[in-house]
Amino acid sequence: MIIYLYGPDDFRAKEKIKALKEKFKKDIDLSGSGVFCFDNLKWSIEELKETMGTGSLFARKAMIIIEDALSRKDKDFLTELTETIKASGDNILIVYESRLVTDRKGEIKLLDSADKESVLTVAQKKYHNFLFSTNLIERFDYLAGIDLERWIVGQVNETGAKISAPAAKILAQSYAKDLWLLTNEIKKLAAYVLADQDSGGIITVESIKLLTMVKTETIIFTLTDAVGTKNKTLAIASFEALLADNIQPVYLMSMIFNHFRNILAVRSYLEKGESSAKIASKLGLHSYVVQKAINQSRHYSVAALKNILNELLKLDSDFKNGRIDFKTGFEIVLAETIK
C-alpha cells in the first residue's frame, strides 16, 4: 500500500502521518517496532530495501515513512527509489513531499532551500507522477481565509474554550503559514480564558493582544479590510482592540484614509476599463493589494468613496481642533461607512 501526501502545510501532514502510525500500531503492530522513518537526506536505497524485508517480531509488514526525497541530488536516486517502492510488497509506505507547491496555474513546483519555486526536473516529474497515479493521495496546501478560520474554531473547541469570529480572523491573518506556532498560541489562549472567570471561556481580540505577539499593524489591516468589506462586527472589535492598545488616532486615521484612497483610485480605473495589471502598474501597488481593493470597491460607488474620504478629513480636522473626541468621531464615520 502506498499513501502519497504532498504540500507545504507540514503541520496537518504530520498530524495525518501521526494518525496513520497510531492506526498501524493498533491494528497491526502494537509494539510499534515495525515503523521506520526515512526523513533525512543521508539514507541509501540499500537501507530502504533492507528495511522493507525486516518487519518486526510482531508483524510481517512494516510501515515505512519517506520524506522529501525530491530534494535528493544523488544521480538516478529517484529512478531507483521508484522501482524500490514498486517492489514494496505488503509493506505500508507513506511518502510525504513537503516542498511541493501548486502555483496559480495549477502546476506543481518544487521549493528550494530559499523557498523559491522551480520547475520539476524530468526525474522529479516522473517520480511525482508515479506516486500521483496511486489510489491514496492527499494534498496539504496552506489553509487561508474562511478555511483557516474554521480550522482555528475547531482547534479552540477541542480545548473546551470558544473564540469570537473577529479573534479567529485576527489569528488567521497573523499566523497564516505557521500552524505549529498558531497551535501553541491557541493552547495558551484557551488555558487563559478557561482559567479566567470574567472571560466566559471565550478568546477575544483583547485576549489575543494581551497574550500573543500579534502586531498592532496586523489589527489595523484587519480593521481597514473590515471597513472595506462592510464587516461591522469585525471592524468594531478591531477598533476597540486598537483603542485598548492606545493607538495614536492620527496614525490610525491616516492608514484608513490611504486605504480608501486606494479603493477610490482602483474603482476609478476600473470604470475606465483598465485591467488589474495596468492598475497596479499605474498606482505602483502590489497586485495583491490591487486585487483586494478591486473586491472591496464593489461595495461602494465612486461618490460614496469620495464622501468617506471627506468625512475622514473632517474627522481629522475636528479632532485636531478639539471639536470631538476621537472614539466618538470615528464611531460616527464607521457607522456611516458600513451602513
Spatial distance between the Cα atoms of 268 and 140, rounded to a whole number of angstroms: 39
Determine the average pLDDT of the residues in 302-313. 90
Q: Does the structure show a pLDDT above 80 at 177?
A: yes
Give me the pLDDT at residue 3, please.
96
Determine the average pLDDT of the residues in 30-59. 81
Determine the average pLDDT of the residues in 11-16. 96
C-alpha cell at 126: 516522473
**Do 205 and 228 share a structural domain?**
no
Q: Does the structure show a pLDDT above 90 at 99?
A: yes
Report the CATH number that the domain containing residue 32 is assigned in CATH: 3.40.50.300
DSSP 208: H
**Do 11 and 134 share a structural domain?**
yes
Q: Does the structure show a pLDDT above 80 at 215?
A: no
**Do 209 and 83 share a structural domain?**
no
Give me the pLDDT at residue 284, please.
87
**Do 298 and 234 share a structural domain?**
yes
Report the CATH number that the domain containing residue 229 is assigned in CATH: 1.20.272.10
* Residue finishing a domain among 190, 214, 238: 214
Q: Does the structure show a pLDDT above 70 at 335?
A: yes
Over the stretch 187-211, which tens digit does the pLDDT of each residue have?
999 999 999 888 899 999 888 888 8
Q: Does the structure show a pLDDT above 70 at 140?
A: yes
Give me the pLDDT at residue 115, please.
78
Task: Work out the pLDDT band at 54, boundaries 50, 70, 90.
Answer: low
Which residue from 308, 265, 240 is spatially nearest to 316, judged by alpha carbons?
A: 308
**Do 126 and 58 share a structural domain?**
yes
Report the CATH number that the domain containing residue 175 is assigned in CATH: 1.10.8.60
Average pLDDT, the chain: 88
- Nearest 5°: the CA angle 132, 101, 143 is 105
Task: Work out the pLDDT band at 239, boundaries 50, 70, 90.
Answer: confident
Environment class of 80 (CB within 10 Å of its CB; exposed 0-12, middle 13-18, buried 19+): middle
Q: Does the structure show a pLDDT above 70 at 248?
A: yes
**Do 113 and 9 share a structural domain?**
yes
**Do 114 and 69 share a structural domain?**
yes
This prediction has a pTM of 0.70
Over the stretch 273-305, which tens digit does the pLDDT of each residue have?
988 888 988 888 888 788 888 888 888 889 989
**Do 229 and 296 share a structural domain?**
yes
* Residue finishing a domain among 139, 163, 192: 139
Q: Residue 107's domain spans which residues?
A: 2-139
**Do 18 and 107 share a structural domain?**
yes
Give me the pLDDT at residue 222, please.
83
CB distance 316 to 248 below 8 Å = no
Give me the pLDDT at residue 24, please.
92
Helix, strand, coil percent values for the chain (each to nearest 5): 60, 10, 30
The residue with cell 472591496 is: 296
**Do 266 and 203 share a structural domain?**
no
Task: Work out the pLDDT band at 19, boundaries 50, 70, 90.
Answer: very high
**Do 21 and 118 share a structural domain?**
yes
Highest mean pLDDT of the ranges 39-53, 151-165, 198-212: 151-165
* Residue finishing a domain among 118, 139, 160: 139
Q: Does the structure show a pLDDT above 90 at 127?
A: yes
Strands (E), the chain: 2-6, 35-38, 63-67, 92-97, 100-102, 108-111, 117-119, 136-139, 162-163, 202-203
User: Percent of the chain, pLDDT > 90?
Assistant: 43
Give me the pLDDT at residue 183, please.
94
Spatial distance between the Cα atoms of 138 and 17, rounded to a whole number of angstroms: 11
Count of domains forming the chain? 3
Q: Does the structure show a pLDDT above 80 at 70?
A: yes
Give me the pLDDT at residue 59, please.
57
Give me the pLDDT at residue 18, please.
95
Q: Does the structure show a pLDDT above 70 at 226?
A: yes
Task: Work out the pLDDT band at 82, boundaries 50, 70, 90.
Answer: very high
**Do 161 and 80 share a structural domain?**
no
Q: Does the structure show a pLDDT above 60 at 58?
A: no
